[in-house]
Amino acid sequence: MSFVPNTAEIRRHMLESTDVSSFDELIACIPDEVLLTSALDLPEGISELQVSRLLSQLAERNRDLDHTISFLGGGVYDHALPRAVHHMIRRSEFYTAYTPYQAEVSQGTLQAIYEYQSVMCQLTDMDVSNASLYDGASALAEAALLAHYATRRNEMVVSHTLNPFYASVLETYGRNLGFVIRKIDYGDGVTDIEKLQKALSDETACCLIQHPNFFGYLEPMDEIERHVHRVGALFVSAVDPISLGLLKPPGTYGADICVGEGQALGNPLSFGGPSFGFLTTTKNLIRRIPGRIVGTTADGKGQRGFVMTLQTREQHIRREKATSNICTNEALNALAGVVYLSLLGKEGLRKVAELSLQKSHYTLEKLEELGGFGRRFTSPFFKEFVVKTPKPPGEIVNTLAEQGIFAGIDLDRFKIGLDDCLSIAVTEKRTVEDIDTLLSRLAQFRGKISSA
């Protein structure tokens, strides 16, 4: 005998339990302008085959990187992905695994996390790594939270050269925690050191600097470190992991916390995710790290094993003692990063960084020869740079997208004083032919390319 629920009866019980007399009273807090005032205009139902065909047609309207040339940057990049990475992370042992609550049946997953932590510590020259975070933005915000609790201070000093999306997440984190966020202007594409010095005080919990920054330029990290530590604040460095194939790692210039977006390490762009954020620190901050840490041990027979060593997250300890409300990690994406770095090794990573550096500088030099396009800043940069454009950057971006090229990021959208500028990123994946194609298409905004 089947039971068919009485909808009216269910609604009555629900209203009684919420102490309201009608459904309209229940939703009275919702503004009128967002309420639906008419019936949904839905089409007639269609078959499964028709749905599949419709979804395929809609998907084909997207411009993917198999059919376009990308010079996009700003936090995610089109680097070459070795096929072995895809093969490894799609093994069922990893692909179907979840959080390793039972160490005795999760040795493979725990070892993968342990290897990830080891690699990230080597890459950043820091003492400790957690098991990964959601993305670069949440990693930076968690670093600020860590600094807040470690120093018992509320002020965060950040530069306008920080990724605007990272800054937005930081503001969201700090809104109900009493954070005071002091933003520093930039000069020649990098943080204004004089203004930074004036903003730092004995109320500063941390200073968060991106290097290379959102524009792609290299910040004077050694100098910034001295000013930050002079006032007893923590120094947070947000880095592009690929740049560490060439640039000094954060541990070398005295960073207390290093964070970043791990997408460039073996993960595709995938419409912005999923990826993983990384966070490494000095050893004295280990008990304030968000998430979890995996360590090695030995069983009763002396055999090596892996266990979750620190779990300072709200799922495992009392909520008021948790260092963070983030209660998982991006293990599969982090594993892709481990496999990628293992395949490349130190020399391979250096080569990727060198090619990105060389090709980006070559692109800028050729752009300047076009006429009308000029470098906005003269500071050194890694693989990303900003150019002034002869036409509105949004017009250029939209026109070239129709021609199969993602020309870069229209910086006008961020309202940071670069309304006539385009940000262009060039990775090792871009060939000379790709770059020449970009140049020839950009020439339509200034006429034909000169023979020079």
Residue 228 sits in the same domain as residue 375: no
Residue 258 sits in the same domain as residue 387: no
* pLDDT at residue 315, rounded to an integer: 59
Nearest CA to 267 among 375, 403, 116, 145? 116
Tokens 């004089």 belong to which residue? 194
Query: Of 308, 323, 340, which one is at a domain's C-terminal end?
Result: 340
Task: Using the Cα atoms of residue 241, residue 246, residue 247 and residue 249 in order, give the sign of their dihedral.
Answer: positive
* pLDDT at residue 314, rounded to an integer: 56
* pLDDT at residue 43, rounded to an integer: 87
For 194, list phi and psi in degrees, rounded to 5: -60, -45
Q: Is residue 325 helix, strand or coil?
A: coil
* % of the chain with per-residue pLDDT over 90: 72
Cα–Cα distance list, 49 to 44, 46, 179, 200 (Å): 15, 8, 53, 62
Residue 407: is its pLDDT beyond 80? yes
Residue 186 sits in the same domain as residue 335: yes
Instruction: Return d(Cα 204, Cα 421) in angstroms, integer.
Output: 33
Instruction: Over range 354-381, report the average pLDDT.
Output: 95
pLDDT-derived band at 316 (thresholds 50, 70, 90) equals: low
Instruction: Over range 348-367, report the average pLDDT.
Output: 97
Task: Using the Cα atoms of residue 50, residue 55, residue 60 and residue 61 in order, give the sign of their dihedral.
Answer: positive
Query: Of 315, 340, 365, which one is at a domain's C-terminal end?
Result: 340
pLDDT-derived band at 117 (thresholds 50, 70, 90) equals: very high
Residue 123: is its pLDDT beyond 60? yes
* pLDDT at residue 339, rounded to an integer: 97
- Phi-psi category of residue 10: left, alpha or beta, with phi > 0 → left and psi -120 to 50 → alpha: alpha
Residue 105 sits in the same domain as residue 233: yes
Residue 402: is its pLDDT beyond 90? yes
pLDDT-derived band at 310 (thresholds 50, 70, 90) equals: confident
Radius of gyration of the chain (CA): 25
* pLDDT at residue 5, rounded to an integer: 60
Looking at the domain assignment, is residue 38 inside a domain? Answer: no
Better-predicted residue by pLDDT, 362 or 23? 362
Instruction: Return d(Cα 239, Cα 250) in angstroms, integer.
Output: 8
Instruction: Return d(Cα 3, Cα 24) in angstroms, integer.
Output: 29
Residue 101 sits in the same domain as residue 245: yes
Residue 225 sits in the same domain as residue 355: no
CATH number assigned to the domain comprising residue 92: 3.40.640.10
Residues 331, 267: contact at Cβ < 8 Å?
no
Cα–Cα distance list, 335 to 41, 101, 338 (Å): 45, 18, 5
* pLDDT at residue 324, rounded to an integer: 79
Residue 73 sits in the same domain as residue 193: no
Helix axes 331-370 and 107-124, enclosed angle (nearest 10): 40
- Phi-psi category of residue 111: left, alpha or beta, with phi > 0 → left and psi -120 to 50 → alpha: alpha
Residue 306 sits in the same domain as residue 384: no
* pLDDT at residue 393, rounded to an integer: 95
Looking at the domain assignment, is residue 292 inside a domain? Answer: yes
What's the structural domain count of the chain? 2
Residue 158 sits in the same domain as residue 191: yes
Residue 193 sits in the same domain as residue 322: yes
* pLDDT at residue 61, rounded to an integer: 87
- Which residues sit opposite 307 in a β-bridge? 295
Residues 15, 22: contact at Cβ < 8 Å?
yes
Looking at the domain assignment, is residue 26 inside a domain? Answer: no
* pLDDT at residue 325, rounded to an integer: 76
Render pLDDT for 180-237 as a digit per residue (tens, 0 to 9): 999 999 999 999 999 999 999 999 999 999 999 999 999 999 999 999 999 999 999 9
Residue-number span of the structural domain to which 252 is assigned = 83-340
Residue 198 sits in the same domain as residue 315: yes
Instruction: Over range 119-128, report the average pLDDT.
Output: 98
* pLDDT at residue 313, rounded to an integer: 60
Residue 1: is its pLDDT beyond 50? no
Render pLDDT for 86-96 as a digit per residue (tens, 0 to 9): 999 999 888 88
Instruction: Over range 367-388, report the average pLDDT.
Output: 95
Write down how long the chain is.
Answer: 452
Looking at the domain assignment, is residue 311 inside a domain? Answer: yes
Looking at the domain assignment, is residue 49 inside a domain? Answer: no
Residue 451: is its pLDDT beyond 90? no
Residue 448: is its pLDDT beyond 60? no
Looking at the domain assignment, is residue 411 inside a domain? Answer: yes
Residues 421, 411: contact at Cβ < 8 Å?
yes
- Cα 21 from chain centroid? 47
**Token pair of 355 as six digits:** 């090619």
Hey, what amino acid is at 367? L
* pLDDT at residue 452, rounded to an integer: 35
Which helix (H) or strand (E) is 228 found in, with range? helix 221-230
Better-predicted residue by pLDDT, 78 or 11? 78
* pLDDT at residue 351, rounded to an integer: 98
Residue 450: is its pLDDT beyond 60? no
Query: Of 321, 340, 359, which one is at a domain's C-terminal end?
Result: 340
Instruction: Over range 162-171, report the average pLDDT.
Output: 97
CATH number assigned to the domain comprising residue 401: 3.90.1150.10
Residue 356 sits in the same domain as residue 250: no
Residue 371: is its pLDDT beyond 60? yes
The pTM of the full predicted model, rounded to 2 decimals, is 0.87
* % of the chain with per-residue pLDDT over 70: 95
Residue 140: is its pLDDT beyond 90? yes
Long-range contacts of 26-33 (CB under 8 A, 24+ apart): none
* pLDDT at residue 4, rounded to an integer: 55
Looking at the domain assignment, is residue 381 inside a domain? Answer: yes
